[in-house]
Structure 1
Amino acid sequence: MRYHYKFEKILSLKEREKDEALNIYQESVKKFEEAAEKLYELLKKKEDLEAYQSSRLVSGLSVQEIRHHQQFISNLEKSIEYYQKMVMNARNRMYFFQEKLLEKNIEVKKFEKIKEKDFLQYHEEEKISEGKQMDDISIQQFLNREN
């Protein structure tokens, strides 16, 4: 007799759900990384521009150029603020999907543990059944020798 796990369909469903949760989590990590990289680029650009402006202020800079730089920095700060919010939202989404993935992993592990225990019980029952069959065969052989 072959072993058949009674919750096999549920286990495969839970594994599929876990795989979907993993894909969603990986996608959220990717979006978080993209937003964080963009934020880093903007912060680096602002830092470089401020360093350039300070070095130019020492050598002399026209008022028009100062206004232009300040306007550009102001726009950069708005973009930075926007991307900071995006990074925060992306991080929260990533943590949310990480929790969902952990829950799905736990569910799958529970069903795998149940399957493992069920298989061990099946194996023990098989051993007992084989032992009984061997006893029956031994009794039959003994009785056949007597006759």
Structure 2
Amino acid sequence: MGFTYKFAKLLELRESEKENQALVYEKAVQRFKEVAEKLYELLKKKEDLESYQHEKIRTGIQVHEIRFHQKYLMNLQKEIDHYQNLVIQARHHMQFEEKRLMDKNIEVKKFEKLKDKEYEKYLRERIVEETKVMDEICTQIVVREK
């Protein structure tokens, strides 16, 4: 008789849940990266525009161009603020999914530990059974020789 783990189906289910959660976590990480990259691009764009505007102010610029740049900067800042909020939300979501993944990992580890302990118990029982059989065989051999 071979070793069968009584919670094998449950372990498979937990492993499947862990794999699914890993995919959800990866999607959350990807979303965070995308939003963070967009925020970075907007901040870089703002920095470049401010540098350009400062250079133009030094060399000379018309008032309507300054107004246009200021209006554009205000709109850009609104977009930056929006993406900062999205980054915060994406980070929280990513951290939440990471916590859930860690919990799933812990559950799987518990079942694997139980499986290992049951297997060790099974091996000890097999050794005891084999020892009994060997003792019985030895006893029969001694009885036959007498």
* TM bracket (short chain): over 0.9
CA distance in 2 between partners of 1:7 and 1:141 (Å): 42
Structure 1 segments (4+ residues) deviating >3 Å: none
Cα deviation for residue 105 of structure 1 reads 0.3
Segments of structure 1 that go 5 or more residues without pairing to the other structure are none
Counterpart of 2:39?
Answer: 39
Counterpart of 2:131?
Answer: 131
Cα deviation for residue 143 of structure 1 reads 1.0
* SS of residue matched to 1:4: coil
Give the percent of matched residue pairs that are identical in Structure 1 and Structure 2: 48
Counterpart of 2:65?
Answer: 65
State yes or no: 1:115 paired with 2:111: no
Counterpart of 1:103?
Answer: 103
CA RMSD after TM alignment:
0.5
Q: Under a length normalisation based on structure 1, what TM-score does the superposition of the two structures give?
A: 0.98
* SS of residue matched to 2:5: coil
Cα deviation for residue 108 of structure 1 reads 0.3
CA distance in 2 between partners of 1:121 and 1:17 (Å): 28
Counterpart of 1:17?
Answer: 17
Counterpart of 2:143?
Answer: 143
CA distance in 1 between partners of 2:19 and 2:121 (Å): 29
Cα deviation for residue 63 of structure 1 reads 0.9
CA offsets per residue over residues 12-57 of structure 1, 9 Å max, x none?
Answer: 0000000011100010000000000000000000000000000000
Cα deviation for residue 131 of structure 1 reads 0.1
CA offsets per residue over residues 54-96 of structure 1, 9 Å max, x none?
Answer: 0000111011111110111011001000000000000000000
CA distance in 2 between partners of 1:51 and 1:116 (Å): 64
CA distance in 2 between partners of 1:40 and 1:115 (Å): 48
Q: How many residues of Structure 1 are paired with residues of Structure 2 in the alignment?
A: 146
